[in-house]
C-alpha cells in the first residue's frame, strides 16, 4: 500500500505541471499571465510534498493493514488527485473567488481524509502506539481545517486573504516538529 500511495503522489505532483500550458509566442508578455499559474503550482507542489512526507512517515508506523485503513487511504488519494485540477483552475483565473474557494474545499476534504486515516491507524494500533505518541495533541491537524474554512469564507471579501491563509498553513507544516523525529527514532529501535 505504501508503494502504491507513494507512486500515486509522485504522479499527481508531476502531472500537475501539465496544467501549465506552453504559451503561444516567445515574448515576456506571454509569460505574464503564467505568473498566477506558476504561483498556484508552487503552492500545490509544497502541499503535495508535505502530504507525501507526512503520509510516508505515517505509513511506516502501520504494522497491519486492514480494510478500513486501506479505504481511508484511497479516500485521501481521491481528494489529493483533484489538486492538479483545482490548481489549474485557480491559476488560470488569477485567484478569482470561486476557484480559490474550491481550492480550499479540496484542501479541507484532504485534511479531513488525512484525519480519518490517522484516526483509523491509531485505533487499530492502540493509544500507546508509535503514531499516537508522535501525533500527540495534533494541534496542527486541528487548526488546519479551521484555517481552511476561514480562508474559504474570506474569498468573498478578498482572495488574497485566502491565498495567504493557504500559504500560512503550508508554512506551519513545513516547520519541523517532534512527530517525524519520534517516528525516526521509533524506526531505529
Query: Within 119-178, which residues bind a copy of itself (CB under 8 A)?
Result: 174, 176
Min dist. Cβ of residue 38 to a copy of itself (A): 9
CA distance 60 to 182: 12
- 159-171: b or e for each residue (b if 16 or more CB lie within 10 Å)? bebbbebbbebbe
Count CB-CB contacts under 10 A for residue 35. 11
Q: Is 23 in the site for a copy of itself (CB under 8 A)?
A: yes
Min dist. Cβ of residue 161 to a copy of itself (A): 17
Q: Is 35 in the site for a copy of itself (CB under 8 A)?
A: no
Phi-psi region of 177 (alpha: psi -120 to 50; beta: other; left: phi over 0): beta
- Whose cell is 500527540? That residue is 136
Beta carbons of 63 and 125 less than 8 angstroms apart: yes
Quick one: which segment of 84-92, 112-120, 142-150, 160-168 binds a copy of itself (CB under 8 A)? 84-92
- Whose cell is 493509544? That residue is 127
Query: Within 36-75, which residues bind a copy of itself (CB under 8 A)?
Result: 42, 45, 49, 52-53, 56, 67, 70-71, 74
Beta carbons of 151 and 166 less than 8 angstroms apart: yes
Site size with a copy of itself, rule: CB under 8 A: 52
Quick one: which segment of 93-101, 108-116, 129-137, 163-171 binds a copy of itself (CB under 8 A)? 93-101
For binding to a copy of itself (CB under 8 A), which residues are involved?
3-4, 6-15, 17-20, 22-28, 31, 42, 45, 49, 52-53, 56, 67, 70-71, 74, 77-78, 81-82, 84-85, 88-89, 92-93, 96-99, 102, 174, 176, 180
Amino acid at each position: 500500500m505504501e508503494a502504491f500511495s507513494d507512486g500515486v503522489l509522485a504522479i499527481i505532483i508531476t502531472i500537475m505541471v501539465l496544467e501549465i500550458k506552453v504559451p503561444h509566442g516567445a515574448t515576456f508578455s506571454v509569460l505574464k499571465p503564467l505568473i498566477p499559474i506558476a504561483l498556484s503550482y508552487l503552492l500545490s507542489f509544497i502541499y503535495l510534498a508535505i502530504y507525501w512526507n507526512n503520509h510516508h512517515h505515517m505509513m511506516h508506523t502501520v504494522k497491519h493493514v486492514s480494510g478500513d485503513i486501506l479505504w481511508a487511504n484511497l479516500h485521501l488519494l481521491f481528494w489529493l488527485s483533484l489538486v492538479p485540477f483545482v490548481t489549474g483552475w485557480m491559476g488560470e483565473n488569477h485567484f478569482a473567488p470561486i476557484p480559490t474557494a474550491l481550492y480550499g474545499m479540496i484542501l479541507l476534504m484532504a485534511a479531513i481524509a488525512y484525519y480519518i486515516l490517522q484516526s483509523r491507524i491509531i485505533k487499530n494500533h492502540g493509544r500507546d502506539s508509535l503514531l499516537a505518541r508522535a501525533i500527540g495533541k495534533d494541534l496542527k491537524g486541528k487548526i488546519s481545517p479551521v484555517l481552511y474554512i476561514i480562508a474559504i469564507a474570506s474569498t468573498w471579501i478578498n482572495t488574497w486573504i485566502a491565498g495567504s491563509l493557504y500559504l500560512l498553513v503550508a508554512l506551519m507544516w513545513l516547520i519541523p516538529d517532534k512527530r517525524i523525529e519520534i517516528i525516526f527514532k521509533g524506526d531505529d529501535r
